[in-house]
Each structure stands twice: as structure tokens, then as C-alpha cells.
Structure 1
Amino acid sequence: MNNKTIKWIALGVFLLLIFGGLIYQTMSGSAENVVEEPPGRPAQQSMAVNMFVTDYSELENFIDVSGTTLPDESVVLSAEISGLLTSIYVREGSRVEKGQLIAKVNDAELQAELARANTNLRLSETNLERQKRLLAREGISQQEFDNAEAQYQVNLSEVNLIKARIEKTEVRAPFSGITGLRKVSPGQYVTPGMEIISLIKPDPIKIDFPVPQIFANQIKEGTKFRFQTSGSAEFHEGTIYATESVIQANSRALMVRGRFNNEDMLITPGSFINAKVLMEQSDSAILIPTVAVVPILNGQQVYLFKNGKVKPQEVETGTRMANKIQITGGISAGDTVITSGLLQIRPEMEVRAAEISSTSN
């Protein structure tokens, strides 16, 4: 290789180094510019959450209980005196009126005794009138007149006693109602207390059910309840009119009695019922979604939306339902409660509405 060739090679290497240095400086300067002057970042957007606008609502809080229906009056009619049952004057399942004759025990012997007693009474009455006239003329002593008067009173008492025994041979309805099934037949010998036929008064109907002890103080005369009989979807409305005086020791429940107008005979006494007892009623209750309430150390709180930011607010709660809860203190109608993103939001954090709901929708 001659000297001329070597010179050209050296010149080419020199030029290559120069151009490489220029390219490196250009690239390095661009990188420095990127670091020193970063492009502007887009503004961070606020978090989107669901919201609920509070308002006054109607609230009816019920408790579920089970109970039994009872007739307003119920009795098993029985004989008061021994004897042969001569007649039963009513059919089973028929309607009877108060005082109506239901059955009769043979009173033939008593009627004979009554006839004899009446005869003796008439004789003693006649003798008393005679003795009174004689006493007026001083024909007898006062003692003789007193004896005649005493005999009259004895005979009168005997007549009244036999009449009372005859009345006991008649079995009458103590109230208007419907008869049940007969327990005896005519011709059967009955004794005092032997059951003859049952009688009930099915209108109005009574309804007995236990209320748990924690609700006992809320039960008042006039408290309303709804009930349905087993196997029926129809609800009826009754009214509580009486309660037991003590809590039952075995169940820790208060026995309650209500009444239902059963003039259409819709309810059969003795039926099992399910009832809903009205514990609380209000037309100005504040109800919010249950998910909006967050437990805290000393109570519960919600997050309000005010001026575009999150504001925590402690609240007092009342009745809890399936998906809503009553707020009794802490917020007012018209406040906006946040119902989603509760784990991500923080006090004073800016948020925006993704969806807004209210009591009316």
C-alpha cells in the first residue's frame, strides 16, 4: 500500500469520527430538552359516584307473628238436673237467639209436685185470709194469726223452689250464636254437667297471638294489625283491644288479643293465622338506601355531597328494612347522600354524579 492510499483512509476515518460526534451531541441535547421541559399533563378528573336525594316518605313498620282465632263467646251447654232428655229443639250448626229453648229434660214428676204445692198454697192463702178477719174481731190471738201467715210463706217458698227446679230442666241459649255438634240424643239419661251441645258467637271474632317482649311496650289498645289464615292469600285488618297482664315466663312474650268484624263469616274460629302488627307509622320519615350507612367507631355515618365535595355526617338510625333504613337524626330532607364508591372516597374529595335517584323513583 502506497502513502497516498494511507492518507485517504486516514482522512475518511477522521471525517467519520467528526460526523459521529455531531450526531451524538444532537441526540443528547434532545434528551436533555425532554427532561427539562416535559409536556403538559391532562387535568385529573373527579370520581363518579351514585347519589340519593332524601325526602319525606311514608313508613309502616310491622312485626310478623302467628296466632289463633277464637269465637267472641263460646260455651258447651249442659244439663243442670238429672233426668231423661226428652227433646233437642235445634239442629246442629243452626243459628239460635238468646233465650231460645235448646233442649228439655223430663219434668213430669216436678210438674206433679208443683200442682200439689200450688194446692197447699191456695189452702194456706184461704186460711190466712180467714185468720186475718178473725184477728180483726179479736176472735183469735196474734200467735194463731202468725202461725197461719208462716204456713202461707212456707207453701209459697215450696212453689217457687219447684218452679226453679223445672226451669233447670230447660236448656236455653245464653247468647245468640251458632250451635255445634250434639253430644247426646233424645231419650238419653243426663246428669248435671253432662254436655249436650256447643254454642259459639263467631262475630266479632277474637284473635290471640304472642308479641316478643322487646315490642311489648309498643302494644297499645287500638293498635292495628293485618292477618291472613293459613292457606289464604287475602289479608284482613283487626284491632288490638286487650293484652295479658304479665309476660309469659316460658316464651318471654306478651299475649295479645285483637278483634275482627266477622259478620260475613269469612274467618272460622280456631284457625291458624299469620299476622303483621303495626309497630310504627309515619308520613314524614327519612329513608335512604341501607348501603349508604357506614359503621364507625362510635356509631354510624353517611357521606353527603355538598358543593361538589364529600362531607362525612354522623347519623342516628331507626327501622331497618330489606334495602332501606330510617334516619332519625343527622340529616334532613333534601340532603344528597352518596351510595357508591364508599371505600374509595375521602372527606373533602371532589366527586361528580354518575347516577342520581330519590324517594320518588
Structure 2
Amino acid sequence: MTASPPAADLSKLRINRDDPPPAVKRALRRVLWLVGAAVLIVAVVVVIGRRGGAVPVQVVTVTTAAHGGEGAAGGGNSGSVAVVANGYVVARTKAAVSAKIPGRLAVLNVSEGSRVEKGAIIARLDNADYAAAVGQAEAELASAKATLIETQSDRDQLQREFVRVRDIRAQNPNLVSPQDVENADSKARQADARVSAQQARVDAAGAGLRVAQANLENTYIRAPFGGTVLRKEAEVGEVVAPSVGGGLTRGAVVTMADLATLEVEVDVNEAYIARIQGGQQARITLDAYPDTSFRGTVRQVVPTADRQRATVQVKVAIVDRDPRILTEMGAKVEFLEAPRAAPAGSPPVVERPRIMVPAAAVRSEDGRPVVWLVRDGRLQKRDVDAGPVSGNFREIRSGLSGGEQLLVGGVETPREGQRVKIGQ
């Protein structure tokens, strides 16, 4: 009898959880090498960027607004720049011309750029019914006048009859009774009253004719002043009305302006408004033509301030007329101060020139205004005394003398000594 093999002892089996397979070990080593290399590359780039790389920046050179500076094109005005402000070209005389009555636009005689004189017909509404109303009113007036002539003739006849009866009664009372005289007088008075009533009807018919003619005239849209059409607001076939009612109804037919009344409206910070007065000379530079300037004069300082923006609106008339100047163009206005004349026998008055820099060049650190200078390719911080913003510029009262290069862009958080290069 054969002996059975011994039973296996499964209690001695173990799973090795600490030693990963060889393939996993190789993959883990590759990942660690890649991560280490990436960290090293990033560190090298950061160190090189901080120590050796120069950041491109935008700078502006500080200039002084001294007396006798260059004048505007067309010349003649010079002086120091007292205030700088930005605004837009507007027409002092401008209107959105609309119809007085609602109707469908039948004729449009102008287009953008058309020159029109005062009273010229710009457009016409469909007016067949209004023309017919005028014809009817004319006929009613003619009929009323004819009836008036008839009643006047009857009145004259009855008045003559009354006079004849009265005279006969006066000559021979036996031929005409008092009652006949009274009847003749009554008929003459009634005829006179009918004439007065008919005259009132004639006046009413005349008034009705004038109303019909006015309604017909209201279908013609005329220019309220001489000027240039800036924009067409409606086309032939569209319904127009004095006030927009929504849908396909249009309000204005055209927008026009008198380009001879162009001026620039700017908002001046109220801290500088004391430097501006009526008639003061100004230099105007359009954003569209930055290399050309035009002479201007202060026409009006609006006698109220904007509480929220802390500004006062100033209107500057354009002295140098130019066909390139269009409404709604952006403009920069430099208000000029005339040099003060020294008393006879005294030395010339030397005034401190004003320094105006872009508002972006002045930053705030701990509540103090500072600027960053670019010197020898590195940044240098300097404290300044800066005025409020006016026209995207700030006046530097102290801290700069002119000629410095100021950082205006390219670095969000500048550091003392940071290497930079001036961008093109």
C-alpha cells in the first residue's frame, strides 16, 4: 500500500508589497529625472532673467513748458502751457431735423456732406391728402365770399327800401302806416345781421384755409439754418414722426451742423480751472493729425462743475479753420499763459517752467506719488510732488528738472535697479 504525499503548507506563502516590479522601477526613475531636469531649467531661466535679461519698456522724456515755446500752425500764439485737457470737436450749431407731423417720407433731396441754405427743402412727406385739404378749404372760402356778396346785396336793397318807406311816411303819413315803417326797418336790420354772420363764416373759412396750408407746409422739411448734412437718419419710404414711436418709425430725418461754428469741448480738472479765463489763447492738436496744431481761444467756461468727476467744462473756439477738422474728432487742448512783462527798468521775470508728464508715468506707493527713472539701463525710483490728472497729464511741481526718461509701460511691478531696455 503506497503512502500519500504530504499536504502543502499554505500558511507560509507571503506577498512582497515593498519591492515593486522592475518595469515600475525603471519608469519611476525616468519620471524623477525629467522632473528634476525641468526644475533645473526653470531655475536657470529665472536666474538669468533676473541677473542678465533686460525687460523692454516704454519711456517718455520729460520736457518743460517754458515761455516762448513753439506756437501753433498758423503761428502767432506762444506762452507756457498752463493746463492740458482732452475733449472732442463739436459744432456749436447742430440739430437733428425732424418732421413736424407724422408721415411717410416721399422725397429726400440731400445726402451726407450736402451743403444747404436756411429754409431749403431737405425732404418732403407724402402730402396728397394735405394738398386736397387745401383745395377744399379754398373752395369753401370762395363759396363763403360769394354768399357774403349776395347777403350784402340783399342788405343794401332792404336798407334802401326802409329809407324810401320812411321818407314817404315823413311826407304823407296817410300813405304809409307806422307798422310798414317798422317792418322795413326790421328787415334792414336782419339783413345787416346776416351780412355780419356771413362775414364771420368767411373769416372761419379763411382760417381753415390757413390751417390746411400750414399742414401742407409741414409736410416739407426745411433746413433750420445754413449748414452741412452730417448724417441721414431716414430713407424714402420710411415713416417719420416728431417723436420716435418704436418699430419702423424714425424720429429725425437728417442731422446737420454749421461747420463754421466748430469748437472743442474739454473737461478741465477743477484744481486747474483758476488758470483758465475767457479769451485765453490755446493750442489745439487733433488725434487724427498729431503733427499739426491749430490756434484757439477760450469762448466759455461753463459756470458749473461736475460733482462726480470734479471737472469743469470749457469750450474753445477754433481760430484756424481747416476742412480736415470734423465733428466728434478727439483733440488735445493746451491752454497757454502769456509771459508776464517786467516793469520798466527791471530785469526780465524768470518763471519756473511747468513740467507736464503722462499720468501713466506717476505711480502711487504708500500714498506717495513716485516716478521711475530709466538711467544707464536700470530703474531708479524718485519721489515727486504731482498735481491731479488733467487731460491724461499730471503737473510735476517738484522732483524733476527736465530731460529725464520716465517709465510709462512694460513693467507692472518695477524694482529698484531692475535692468530694462527702451523698446522701439
TM superposition score normalised by structure 2: 0.52
Comparing 107-116 with 125-134, greater Cα deviation is found at: 125-134
Structure richer in strand, relative to its length: 1
Instruction: Assess if the C-alpha contact under 8 Å between 1:203 and 1:265 holds in 2.
Output: no
Secondary structure of 2:193's aligned partner: helix
Q: Contact 2:81/2:334 (CA < 8 Å) preserved in 1?
A: no
Q: CA deviation at 1:263?
A: 4.0
Query: Secondary structure of the residue that 2:328 maps to in structure 1?
Result: coil
User: Percent identity between the aligned chains?
Assistant: 19
What CA distance in whole angstroms lies between the structure 2 residues aligned with 1:204 and 1:246? 23
* CA distance 1:263–1:226, shift in 2 (3 Å): closer
Could you tell me which amino acid in structure 1 is paired with residue 82 of structure 2? F
Unaligned runs of 5+ in 2: 1-66, 69-78, 160-187, 244-250, 343-347, 354-395, 403-424
Contact 2:306/2:312, CA 8 A, preserved across alignment: yes
Matched residue SS, 1:282: coil
Identify which of 38, 41, 63 aligns with 2:83.
Answer: 63
Larger radius of gyration: 1
Match of 1:158 among 208, 211, 221: 208
Secondary structure of the residue aligned to 1:76 is strand
Contact 2:294 2:319 in 1 (8 A): no
Per-residue displacement from partner, 1:220-273 (whole Å, max 9, x unpaired)? 221111110114221111111112121221122221111114643231111111
Per-residue CA deviations over 1:278-297 (Å, capped at 9, x if unaligned) read 2453233522789xxxxxxx
Root-mean-square deviation (CA), in Å?
Answer: 2.6
- Residue 132 of structure 1 and its aligned partner are, at CA, apart by 3.4
Q: Which string of whole-angstrom CA distances, capped at 9 and with x for unpartnered residues, describes residues 201-232 of structure 1?
A: 22231211122223323432211111101142
Return the alpha-carbon distance in structure 1 between the equivalents of residues 266 and 154 of structure 2. Answer: 74
**Alignment partner, residue 209 of structure 1:** 266
Question: What are the equivalent positions in structure 2 for 1:64-79 lying under 5 Å apart?
Answer: 64-79=84-99
User: Does the 8 A contact of 2:262 with 2:327 survive in 1?
Assistant: yes
Deviations for 1:21-75, whole angstroms, at most 9, x for unmatched residues? Answer: xxxxxxxxxxxxxxxxxxxxxxxxxxxxxxxxxxxx8663421111111013222
What residue is the counterpart of 2:219 in the other structure?
169
- Counterpart amino acid of 1:209? V
Superposition pairs of residues 216-227 of structure 1, within 5 angstroms: 216-227=273-284
Number of residues paired by the alignment?
A: 240
What CA distance in whole angstroms lies between the structure 2 residues aligned with 1:224 and 1:96? Answer: 32
Q: Does 1:239 align with 2:297?
A: yes
- Partner residue of 2:196 out of 146, 159, 162: 146
* 1:251-290 → structure 2 map (5 Å cutoff): 251-261=309-319, 263-284=321-342, 285-287=348-350
2:101 is the counterpart of 1:81: yes
Cα deviation 1:129-178 (Å, max 9, x = unaligned): 33334444524433212210111111011100011111111111111111
Equivalent residue for 1:300?
A: none
Deviation at 1:96, TM superposition (A): 1.5
Structure-2 separation of matches of 1:73 and 1:204: 6
Q: CA shift at 1:323, angstroms?
A: 4.4
Tell me if the contact between 1:103 and 1:171 (Cα under 8 Å) persists in the aligned partners. yes
The whole-number CA distance in structure 1 between the counterparts of 2:296 and 2:149 is: 65
Letter in 2 for 1:145: V
1:287 alignment partner AA: V
Matches within 5 A, 1:1-361: 60-137=80-157, 138=159, 139=188, 140-193=190-243, 194-231=251-288, 232-261=290-319, 263-284=321-342, 285-287=348-350, 323=401
- By how many angstroms is 1:94 displaced? 1.6
* CA-CA distance at 1:92 after TM superposition: 2.3
Determine the C-alpha separation between the residues in 2 that align with 1:275 and 1:117. Answer: 59
> Counterpart in 1 of 2:42?
none
Structure 1's 213 and 92: CA in aligned 2 closer, same or farther, altered over 3 A? closer
Corresponding residue for 1:45? none
The question of whether the paired residues in 1 share the 8 Å contact of 2:231 and 2:255 is answered with yes
- 8 Å CA contact 2:103–2:241 kept in 1: the answer is yes
- CA shift in 2, pair 1:60/1:162, >3 Å: same
Contact 2:131 2:216 in 1 (8 A): yes
Partners of 2:119 and 2:305 lie apart in 1 by: 39
